[in-house]
Chains A and B, each alone.
Chain A
Amino acid sequence: MDAREKEIEKLKDYKYGFSTDIESITAPKGLNEEVIKFISNIKKEPKWMLDFRLKAFERFKQLKEPDWQKPKYPKIDYQDLYYYSAPKSMDDKPKSLDELDPKLLETYKKLGIPLQEQARLNGIAVDAVFDSVSVATTFREELSKLGIIFCPISEAIQNHPELVKKYLGSVIPTTDHFFATLNSAVFTDGSFAYIPEGVRCPMELSTYFRINASNTGQFERTLIVADKGSYVSYLEGCTAPMRDENQLHAANVELIALDDAEIKYSTVQNWYPGDKDGKGGIYNFVTKRGLCKGKNSKISWTQVETGSAITWKYPSCILKGDNSIGEFYSIAITNNHQKADTGTKMIHLGKNTKSKIISKGISAGFSDMTYRGLVDISSKASNSSNYTQCDSLLMGNKCGAHTVPYIKNKNSESNIAHEATTSKISEEQLHYCQQRGLSQEEAVGLIVNGFCKEVLQQLPMEFAVEAQKLVGISLEGSVG
């Protein structure tokens, strides 16, 4: 092995693969009412919250695990998982960042989370989640001056029950599909954001998630409510430590936009994808759904999916309010043995609703990628339109790229246009770049970044830089 190969080998190893040893409190293994009560109890939740969980659990017991998706995975034994674990040092909550467990801080430092000074410099309020409990939230004061509530959802349940009660489960009800219902029953923590009427949130709200304790499915719950005329941009980023066992991540994200409000939700997902032979890695089965409840509201999803052994999610928009807009921009990259089945649903219910889907899929190695999307224009959604473009790029003949759009048009005054292409990187483009002195890898990186540009442009600045690097890293060693 020469020096260059060694270098590549090093780079290929997961950048964020480490885990921190912190004693954890864990709920007993398994899934039953006792465990749910245990979680609810440890979070000191009011009775309505416990009832919400139990109702979801009742429903969960009747549901069957879906099996229509393209990536198949070994059967998960839901009784063999821990549904709650928290770093012990959380028992007495630290008052400031300095009081935090130094080991925790070190972990974040490796991840590059700007929790301390960096946070202020970057103007990002960070609600860092370590395993299942929120550790620290910065910039809360600045936000609260504007009346913006941005806190862990467990705190919101205590302090703002009227808001949580009103909106939690209004987009993803407790009677939804298998994984969403599981989340409703056992979710441990997550973020809550409320933007009051007419307020434009001055900074990007950001959360980093980490899965730490082995065998813990992490069940996040995020709820963002944008009241009339408000605007918020929310960032979500994920990294996870290296593990051999498969870990389940079934989060629920609910967005609600009232009249004239806009929510922009960006994700960079870089969970541990498993090693080169497809061993280990995260199962990322997330339910993300936004409701454009009011008139002229807008919800925009942007995602860069590079991690996870299996990614299975469809961030969706329900365009209920007249003139509402839904957007979905996605880059999904799979390498080695990764599998992804992702896309979106645009459900047009209101009049003059518009939606746009731009999806870029890149598969390399032995991976498999599926775009699956639904555009449904109901008979009442007059004068609505949708534009969909999904392009796939293939690298090598061991990988697959699939496109499965469902298009339903029940309204004669509405237009739907759908385009999809699948191709490989053109030899001519590669030749051109290499002729000008770029190495093959650099050339591929450049071309792929160009291919993704439309989506990368949608990301906030801080994310765009990281995402661009990520695109390059994810594809290293896949060509040549």
Chain B
Amino acid sequence: MKEQLQIDFDNIIKTSSFTKRDIELKQNSLNEFIKTGFPNRRDENWKFSDLNQIIKKNIGDLSFYNDYSLSNKIETSVFIDGLEHNKIVFVNGRIEKIDFDYEKKDKIKIIDEPEIDNRSNNFNSLIDLNKAFTNKSYKILIKKDYQLEKPLIIYHLTNDKIKSKNINLSLDFQLEENSSLRLIDLFNDNSEKNFLNIFYNFDLKQNAILKNYKIDKIENTNVKYSFNNIEQAANSLSETFILSSGSHFFKNEINCNLNGKYSSAFINGIFSLSNDRHHEVRTTINHLTENTKSYQLIKSVLNDSSKAVYQGKIFVNSEAQKTDGYQLSKAILLNEASEFNAKPELEIYADDVKCSHGSASGSLDEDSIFYIMSRGLDYQQSRELLINGFLLDVIEKITDSEIKNLIKNIIGLKE
């Protein structure tokens, strides 16, 4: 694989117009990646999901080269109807469209080709891979006091032109004071056996509000990894919702640094898996100063031989008094072969804190089914009703009602 990586890398460099400094930084990242390779189960954070094996088994040999010189056709039929929104469209990893039609132009700044970030935020080797191979990264800056009128939907589209490819995306968002952004990531894949590697960086200044909804509903055989790094200043708020369902493998990782007082982070997630899908959510919330709050709720419904993993960590350093941290993960196993693994972790160095976690997994409660059936529903209906109610709990945590309804429609949940 090593040689292939370098060859693909050189090909990309040849066809693009990076500065000398950028090429050097990219080469460094590549060298780092070559050194460590794809993460495997020997790495504690990948203990339950051996990406190296998953790629080997499901994709085989990956190609890292993509020709980004030609534009792709955008299937407009995938666009969401009935909700006015701004768009960013990725097709096969290439940005085809950025459109903030509904917003004041002078309030949003799109920085093309920002300086490559050489801060040492290297959480794992996939970020190195991302840095080495992203062809174009953008930085989106939302100016002070501006709240976006409409949500922004990022369409992640792939079509059948690509197979066994590695695609890397990277976006950087900066939310200035008092600004707010509602962001939906919508995955729509028409391709097979690719590895998508997405890296977002969010920088929230004072009082900024970020709401990010990730929706992976459509069935596909791709392997995906998404990493959100969120930096939060005082009084800022971030809300992340993850619907993890369609891809063959999907690992969502969120690293959130609560740097300012009274900042808060909310993470809610649903795993709804069938067949042999294997999904993971791993969160790290770092409470770095006083009076910060975090809340996490993850619910899973697992069918067939699917497997869900939740690794959540709450870290509280010694200055972070009055921290309030909470996480809860619940799973329903519907099939003998399904599997749920959890590692809810607390690492606490301050004493005046309130931190707790809970985790429960098991089958559907037969008593509840009996109760509903005794009121005239059949077995299948009772099951569905219970599962609906179980998942609705998470959906109700979504604070934006427009988007809540959109997601309910997408999942097909009835009230």
Tell me the A residues contacting B by CB distance below 8 Å: 68, 379, 385, 392, 394-424
Contacts and interface: CB of A to CB of B under 8 A. Distances in A.
Given A414-B363, A415-B363, A419-B357, 15 more contacts: A394-B351, A397-B352, A399-B349, A400-B348, A404-B343, A407-B342, A407-B361, A408-B341, A414-B362, A416-B362, A420-B346, A420-B357, A421-B355, A421-B356, A424-B352
B358 A403 contact: no
Q: Which of A392, A397, A417 has the most CB of B within 10 A?
A: A397
Contact of A396 (B342, B351, B358, B359): B351
Given A408-B339, A411-B336, A412-B336, A422 B353 contact: yes
Nearest to A401: B348
Nearest to B327: A420
B318 interface: yes
Nearest to B350: A397
Nearest to A417: B360
A353 to B, nearest CB: 14
The 6 A-B residue pairs whose C-beta atoms are closest, nearest first, are: A415-B362, A412-B333, A394-B351, A418-B359, A421-B356, A403-B346
A253 to B, nearest CB: 27
Interface in B297-333: 318-319, 321, 331, 333
Contacts of B334: 412
Interface residues of chain A: helix, strand, loop or mixed (majority): strand
Contacts of B341: 406-409
Interface in B351-385: 351-363
Contacts of B331: 409
B203 interface: no
Contacts of B333: 409, 411-412
Contacts of A404: 343, 345-346
Contacts of A423: 353-355
Interface residues of B, number: 36
A410 B352 contact: no
Given A394-B353, A424-B353, A403 B345 contact: yes
B350 A402 contact: no
Q: Which of A379, A392, A410 has the most CB of B within 10 A?
A: A410
Contacts of B335: 412
B337 interface: yes
Contacts of B357: 403, 418-420
B99 interface: no
B363 A407 contact: no
A351 B363 CA distance: 16
Contacts of A410: 339
A392 B348 contact: yes
Contact of A400 (B336, B340, B349, B352): B349
A405 B359 contact: yes
17 contacts: A379-B336, A394-B348, A397-B318, A397-B349, A400-B349, A403-B345, A404-B345, A409-B339, A412-B335, A413-B363, A414-B363, A416-B359, A417-B358, A417-B359, A419-B358, A422-B346, A422-B348
Contacts of B351: 394-397, 399, 424
Contacts of A409: 331, 333, 339-341, 361-362
Contact of B338 (A68, A412, A417): A412
A405 B358 CA distance: 10
B81 interface: no
B37 interface: no
B361 A420 contact: no
